[in-house]
Amino acid sequence: MGQLQGKVALITGAGRGQGLAAARRFAAEGARIVVNDLEPQSVKTAVESLRAAGGEAVEAVGDVSVSLDVRRVLTIAKDTFGGLDILYNNAGIGYSATKRFGVAMSDVVSCTEEDWRRILDINIGGVFLFCKYGIPLLIERGGGVILNTASIAALRGGADAHAYTATKGAVLALTRAIAVTYGSKGVRANTLCPGVIDTEMIHEALIERDDVRTALARNTPLRRIGTAEDIAEVALFLVSDASRFITGEEFAVDGGLIQRV
Ligand SMILES: NC(=O)c1ccc[n+]([C@@H]2O[C@H](COP(=O)([O-])OP(=O)(O)OC[C@H]3O[C@@H](n4cnc5c(N)ncnc54)[C@H](O)[C@@H]3O)[C@@H](O)[C@H]2O)c1
């Protein structure tokens, strides 16, 4: 029997990247997946591929920063699979947002007020909305698991992407508080802090250039850039019963990058 047999797992931003890799990994362990993303086509393709691999999945298109969308996505989970056991708040915008949404990942002086608000709305606002409306569903089932995605940017200072960094720090703090408040109701909550991971989010800005890619790998104690599958393995541990006595914790998955002086 799979480690997540019969569980219902909602993953935000699961149309590609780390969210999609986790959807595949969780489905392989028997979870039924609610696939959320902003992009309808990526949601459709993800659900088709999960089903083709023998899994159960449902489309749940929506913007994590829009309350109505969030509530609709949670209703889809309830109507299709009867409730919610695992809430993985993975969606976020980072470096790729400059090309996709015109949002710059700059330092605090250069950051426009509009960009600041947009990044906060998605990266921490989305976590707020899904927790606000999702935790009651977890409690309804006698408890459940929340996994939130921050970044190593929340653990160390960086030269740019200051709004992004602030949102990831807020994700860490909110997750700890949620763990304390809802532990007695059977809800666990932990944070993943990915390092440099080979997804579209950082392709153009960081790893498309061979020299930058090589330098990043050389700087990492384990001598490579991470993959979405590296993250999915840790995510599986944190949403499964294997981590049943862990809550309020943060896990850097970065090949040792932040341990360097
Ligand atoms: N890739 C990295 O190096 C890295 C490092 C640290 C943290 N992270 C974090 O990991 C998470 C996953 O990122 P990824 O690397 O898979 O990047 P990605 O850009 O490949 O995937 C992010 C997904 O989120 C979706 N999304 C964006 N805004 C949304 C919204 N408002 N509503 C719903 N979906 C939305 C996108 O459409 C996309 O499918 C993010 O929270 C990111 O900040 C990534």
Q: How confident is the model at residue 203 (pLDDT cuts 50, 70, 90)?
A: confident
| Exposed/middle/buried for residue 155 (C-beta within 10 Å: 0-12, 13-18, 19+) | middle
- What digits encode the pLDDT tens for the residues 90-147? 999 998 888 888 888 899 999 999 999 999 999 999 999 999 999 999 999 999 999 9
The Cα–Cα gap between 224 and 217 comes to 4
Give φ, ψ of 145 to 5 degrees. -130, 135
pTM: 0.98
- Whether 149 is in the pocket of ligand 1, judged by its Cβ within 6 Å, is yes
**Is residue 88 flagged as an active site residue?**
no
Q: Which domains does the chain have, with CATH numbers?
A: 8-255 (3.40.50.720)
- Whether 25 is in the pocket of ligand 1, judged by its Cβ within 6 Å, is no
User: In terms of Cα–Cα distance, which of 246, 215, 226, 234 is closest to 17?
Assistant: 226
| Ligand 1 centre distance from Cα of residue 92 (Å) | 4
The Cα–Cα gap between 62 and 59 comes to 10
The Cα–Cα gap between 1 and 24 comes to 16
| Ligand 1 centre distance from Cα of residue 202 (Å) | 10
Rg value, the chain, Cα? 17
Q: How confident is the model at residue 261 (pLDDT cuts 50, 70, 90)?
A: confident
What atom in ligand 1 is closest to the CA of residue 16? 39
CB-based contact 92:165 (threshold 8 Å):
no
Name the residue of 12, 18, 24, 213 whose CB sits within 8 Å of the most ligand 1 atoms, as the mutation to test its pocket.
18
| Ligand 1 centre distance from Cα of residue 184 (Å) | 31
- What digits encode the pLDDT tens for the residues 25-41? 999 999 999 999 999 99
